[in-house]
Amino acid sequence: MTIQKTNLKFSGTLSPIKKVTKIVVHHPAHPTWDIHEVHNYHKAKGWSGIGYNYFITKGGVQQEGRGKYIGAHCVGKNSYTLGVSFQGDFDKQELGDMQLKAGANLIAKLLREYGLQINDVVRHKDLAATDCPGKNFRFDDLKTAILHELNPNTIKHDVPKQQVENVQPKQEDLPKVTSLGDKYSFQVKAMQDTPVYEYANLSNRKKTLREGTVFSVYGYTYASWAVGGGGFVMMKHVDPVPVTLTTGGLNKGMEEEFRAFLKKEGIAAELNLNKTGNPSASITVQGLDLVKVRQFLDQKGWYYK
């Protein structure tokens, strides 16, 4: 198959990609957009143009996006990865055989060109907090088809399931996890059936928690919560559970200091004062705001429950 030149016009000057260590599979999450519509959409976002290096149409045409220039498809990893996007929305649609075969053919060519292996082919969601390329994307079938392109004598049962599904990331590729420990852990509620992933980059699904499950988190990255028993969930899949804290006696100076802290940290929760008997205050907060308030009260040595 030949990669079709699309002659897209980019804003500014693109930089050649010097080293490639991963091929990242995407979808634009739109059922019909072609490469030109994606290009225009990405331009409207303020980018130079389409962020993907290559694009596979539903009809099985291989098209050049940014080609061998640094893309804009996976934050923090664009300088050493190539993004291959498959036309469609695979949360709602199915990946057809013709499109799958064309994608496998292209990716096999890229693997040969850059001296990469089958486990260097990953999904966008293996590297970032996203569902891309969609729940219906036939990733196992794609990797099998790539292996067949690399070696036509390869048949499906030659591909161990472990090899296809469990891509172990390098430690330096994982996002930093900030630990809360037991003292500042808090509870969240699953707003949908929520996957639990083995790694902090939300790769290698371990299990799924049912919608409505309430569980504790013990740390966080920029987009995920670290859960008990080892594992990570997407922040967007859960809601922190509100907690009401009640302090011991607060004098006027302590009250003013507490309010100044809330304003400085941008915590919108209302501090409710009980002025009868022993003056005290209550505040309802959740998530990381709850952690900040607890830490503040602990640092001050003020009693709360």
Tell me what pLDDT residue 289 has.
94
pLDDT score, position 296:
95
Task: State residue 122's pLDDT score.
Answer: 95
CATH class of the domain defined by 243-300: alpha beta
- The pLDDT assigned to 162 comes to 40
The pLDDT score that the predictor gives to residue 157 is: 42
0.85 cut: is pTM over it? no
The pLDDT score that the predictor gives to residue 163 is: 41
pLDDT at 155: 44
* CATH code for the domain defined by 22-167: 3.40.80.10
Q: What is the pLDDT of residue 160?
A: 43
Q: Which residues of the chain have pLDDT under 70?
A: 152-169, 173, 275-279
For 64-117, give the DSSP string: ESSTTB--SSSTTTGGGEEEEEESB-TTTS---HHHHHHHHHHHHHHHHHHT--
Domain ranges of the chain: 22-167, 178-240, 243-300
> What would be the CATH architecture of the domain defined by 178-240?
Roll (2.30)
Closest CA to 195 of 213, 208, 177: 208
pLDDT tens digits along 85-143 = 999 999 999 999 999 999 999 999 999 999 998 989 999 999 998 999 999 999 999 99
Q: What interhelical angle do 139-150 and 97-114 show, nearest 10? A: 50
* Res 153: pLDDT: 55
Region at 5 (left for phi over 0; alpha for psi -120 to 50; beta for the rest): beta
pLDDT, position 164: 39
